Structure 1
Amino acid sequence: MNENFEDRDEVLDTVRRFERMVAHNEPVFFDLADFENIIDHYTSNTLYDKALQACEAAIAQYPFSTELLIDRSQVLAMKGEYIAAAQQIEDVAQLDPDNPDVAVTRGIIATQKGQFSEAVAFFQQAVERAPDRDDIYFNLGLAYQSWQKFKSAAKYYKQSLRLNPDNDIAVQELLYCLEVSERLEKNLDFFRHFTDQDPYSALAWYNLGQAYYRAGKYDEAVVAFEYAILIDAKFYDAHGFLASTYVSQLKYREGIEEFKLSYAEGEPTAEALCNIGECHEKLAEWDQARRNYQRAIDLEPDMDEAWFGIGIVLNAQERWFEAIHFFRKAVSLYEESVEYWLALAAAEYQVGNVVSAIEAYERASQVAPDSKDAWLNWSIILYEQGNFEGAIDLMRNAVEIQPGEAELHYRLCAYLLAAGRYREAYQYLENALVLDFDKHRLLFEFFPELESQRALTRLIEQYRK
């Protein structure tokens, strides 16, 4: 494991040196392996423009390297420049037709274009020529995954990991495919096999821990991560995952201690500080929570989770005016979070900003039309303002979008009763009772006076199982 960190540091040093030379317009000179590492670093971080720049610099120095021409073709494909990518790889095929990377690159281009069956055929050709290369099986996995064929994808990711257990991206993609196809439980043995084979591999224990964690087997995950850390005390990602496992078990104190070990001493990451802040928040330790969130923002000003965290802390202290500022910032950094919009809307309403609250609920319902809370909370404002028709229309819309959500039917029934439209109200009440009888209590929580209405209670009794 430590070797990996050393290799990674060496690669980062090389990348920095390359960037300095480019920035200062100095002549760039590296050996071929260094260029390969630089290009690989950029592509694995999806920095395709920089990867292409590195390819051009490398080809200027090594114009006859087929590896670099292949790299260039693959980077062009990832940038979506398919014609240039195809042209480049055909040029290489003229020079070296039996090179398995020609078939691999054709497969990558086809995958990027969404031509999945062609991609698979190309990768299978490559496997015939180079049966021991883990990257080819990995690309087969990616093609099947993009094709939404998760079972086949998992099969090839496994084959890739048998050849190279150190490929963390393959582990993540395999776990995702097994989760989506609901086959993670059945495949835990696959991860156990690596720890059986090499009980002193920190990485094998770490990967097993992740599998247990994703399967919700937190006690087993804790043991696996502890083994990884026992073998390599500076395995920071294992500390981070162990901390997250403790959080899932609601053990926030233990979580805080592990998050503090998830980075090199004196070099906290914004993510770790944000997680520590959240643990303190769950323990209602507001000052420590806010302090850690603020330190995360100091390190990474665009960290929306930390801005949101401070908003939550202020909200819990009923400091709504201040909370609004932080929720607005979180929303400006990440507009796709329904959670952020709902928190902002509630805080705006608390201070009497009705129009702003309604706007925020409207945005929440656009971002996540299937969020019942967005519709319910928005409709309450309209109802409390005496706008019964507005509240009814809103709930009709919500019921149309989520016809299986009993709570929406009950609320629509309540608003119709308030507007004196009994026949319609009973129609929605019947729907709600069929969907979830027990939730009829919500009706009386919302309108306690309804319990005295005989016709209503008679109708409810008919549906009692």
Structure 2
Amino acid sequence: MDINDVKFSVDRFEKMINDNSLLFFDSFEFESIVAHYLENGKIEYARKAIDLSLNQHPTSSSLILLKIELYIHEDKINEADELLNSILINENLNEEICIVKANILSKKKLHYKAIEYLNKILAMGENNNEIHYLIGIEYLFLENFVKAKSNFINSLNYNSSDHGTLYNIIYCFEMLNKKLNSISFLNNYLDRNPYCEISWYNLGKQYVSLKKYEEGLNSFDFAIISDENFTSPYIEKAKILQRLDKYEEAIIIYKKLLSVNKTSSYAMLKIGHCYEKIGNSSNALAYYYKSVHYDPSTDKAWYRLSKYFLKNKNYKKANDYIEKAIRINQEKPKYWKLYLKCASLISAKN
């Protein structure tokens, strides 16, 4: 059903509920109505629709599966399993039933059994992309990162633009501590998908972890070229430039980040820190103030302001600002150390 048909059916169903009347809907309409409510988190309406649908179509396996889905959503796993087993008495195994059964087994932490059901779908030659992905997730639960990675790669082969699967593959490489293999995989992937900003970004992070900063910078540049609104590569590139003491260049990148996200208090804080490193105190102070203006909960900016005023012997302001930092984050020993120093200097001055 298209979106207008679904809306018509949902409106008709809700009018029936409000009027306390009884109307007939075919099973396909009920499937769309229930799916609509589940997708929008309207569980009470979904429950009413399922109950009424099974009164009108008691043998519809699709509607029974939706009731099972509702049970799973409500974490009523045993009820879901019992109802599914009642279907299996009269229904042959198909893809949808196997997926639901695997989901139930997964919820019961029976991950190997869940994988068995998912493998049955592969044996049917059905929907390999989704099934390999689901098998990969089960292996993640089992912390078998080799098999998880293998299945995610198989899934990605069917849908190369699935960034969620790509992230899972990179995660598996990280858990296996296979940085060089991850770099090789990402380079091969980029040969086929040269404008994938996610891959360039993660490739850059892998290079940086191996202290190959030039390659990392190049990768972040390509990530930005691929999607100039993707903020993460700006941050990572600027962090490398800071690490290499190239503060003026880092400021340029952080300002480019601000052109994408004008209210990034993080970028303002970092620009202030870079200005402080090159001795431009007035600009440093201005950006620290900008940072706390846009996000007063940025404890690091309050800390930087406190240090600035301590250095300039304005102990009262230094004390006020470190108190603000501590109210936000009480777990930083250096904040308390600075607070005690300010208190001591104020006491000595008086």
CA distance in 2, matches of 1:258, 1:385: 50
For 2:331, what is the secondary structure of its paired residue? helix
Cα distance, 1:400 vs structure 2:
3.0
CA contact (8 A) 2:310 2:342 kept: no
- 2:22 is aligned with 1:131: no
Cα distance, 1:144 vs structure 2:
9.5
CA distance in 2, matches of 1:186, 1:155: 15
- For 2:121, the equivalent position in structure 1 comes to 232
- Structure 2 CA distance for partners of 1:226 and 1:212, relative to 1, 3 Å: closer
- 1:342 is matched with which residue: 235, 243, 263? 235
- Structure 2 CA distance for partners of 1:229 and 1:184, relative to 1, 3 Å: closer
Percent identity of equivalent pairs: 16
- 2:335 is matched with which residue: 443, 457, 460? 443
- For 2:206, the equivalent position in structure 1 comes to 313
- 2:109 is aligned with 1:220: yes
- For 2:196, the equivalent position in structure 1 comes to 303
CA contact (8 A) 2:204 2:219 kept: yes
CA contact (8 A) 1:286 1:313 kept: yes
CA distance in 1, matches of 2:302, 2:97: 50
Let me know the Cα RMSD of the aligned residues: 4.8
Matches within 5 A, 1:10-25: none
**Matched residue type, 1:455:** A
- For 2:42, the equivalent position in structure 1 comes to 151
CA distance in 2, matches of 1:367, 1:190: 49
- 2:302 is aligned with 1:409: yes
CA contact (8 A) 1:206 1:224 kept: no
Cα distance, 1:357 vs structure 2:
2.2
CA distance in 2, matches of 1:356, 1:288: 31
CA distance in 2, matches of 1:396, 1:338: 22
1:309-361 deviation per Cα after TM superposition (whole angstroms, max 9, x unaligned): 22112212222222222112112223343322211222344455544422332
- 2:273 is aligned with 1:380: yes
- For 2:149, the equivalent position in structure 1 comes to 256
TM-score, normalised relative to structure 1: 0.54
- Structure 2 CA distance for partners of 1:277 and 1:198, relative to 1, 3 Å: same
TM-score, normalised relative to structure 2: 0.69
CA distance in 1, matches of 2:271, 2:279: 13
Cα distance, 1:289 vs structure 2:
1.0
**Matched residue type, 2:341:** Q
**Matched residue type, 1:453:** K
CA distance in 2, matches of 1:319, 1:396: 35
For 1:335, what is the secondary structure of its paired residue? coil
- For 1:104, the equivalent position in structure 2 comes to 5
Answer 1 or 2: higher relative contact order, Cα 8 Å, separation at least 6.
2
CA contact (8 A) 1:270 1:297 kept: no
- Structure 2 CA distance for partners of 1:409 and 1:239, relative to 1, 3 Å: same
- 2:346 is aligned with 1:453: no
**Matched residue type, 2:185:** N
CA contact (8 A) 1:228 1:238 kept: no
Cα distance, 1:428 vs structure 2:
2.3
For 2:205, what is the secondary structure of its paired residue? helix
CA distance in 2, matches of 1:370, 1:207: 44
- For 1:287, the equivalent position in structure 2 comes to 180
- 1:421 is matched with which residue: 311, 314, 318? 314
**Matched residue type, 1:337:** F
CA contact (8 A) 2:315 2:346 kept: no
**Matched residue type, 1:228:** Y
CA distance in 2, matches of 1:158, 1:248: 34
- For 1:392, the equivalent position in structure 2 comes to 285
- Structure 2 CA distance for partners of 1:310 and 1:295, relative to 1, 3 Å: same
Cα distance, 1:136 vs structure 2:
5.7
Matches within 5 A, 1:348-363: 348-351=241-244, 353-363=246-256
- Structure 2 CA distance for partners of 1:327 and 1:195, relative to 1, 3 Å: farther
- For 2:57, the equivalent position in structure 1 comes to none
1:171-226 deviation per Cα after TM superposition (whole angstroms, max 9, x unaligned): 9xx99xx9xxxx9564666865664445655534535766998xxx7x82835641
| Higher mean displacement: 197-206 or 305-314 | 197-206
CA distance in 2, matches of 1:427, 1:434: 11
- 2:11 is matched with which residue: 121, 125, 140? 121
Cα distance, 1:293 vs structure 2:
0.6
CA distance in 2, matches of 1:443, 1:363: 31
CA contact (8 A) 2:132 2:151 kept: yes
- Structure 2 CA distance for partners of 1:438 and 1:296, relative to 1, 3 Å: same
- 1:324 is matched with which residue: 205, 217, 230? 217
For 2:181, what is the secondary structure of its paired residue? helix
Matches within 5 A, 1:48-63: none
- Structure 2 CA distance for partners of 1:157 and 1:344, relative to 1, 3 Å: farther
1:17-60 deviation per Cα after TM superposition (whole angstroms, max 9, x unaligned): xxxxxxxxxxxxxxxxxxxxxxx9xxxxxxxxxxxxxxxxxxxx
CA distance in 1, matches of 2:131, 2:263: 35
1:153-182 deviation per Cα after TM superposition (whole angstroms, max 9, x unaligned): 97279849986759x9x99xx99xx9xxxx
The gaps in structure 2 that reach 5 residues or longer are 55-59
Cα distance, 1:282 vs structure 2:
4.6
Cα distance, 1:292 vs structure 2:
0.8
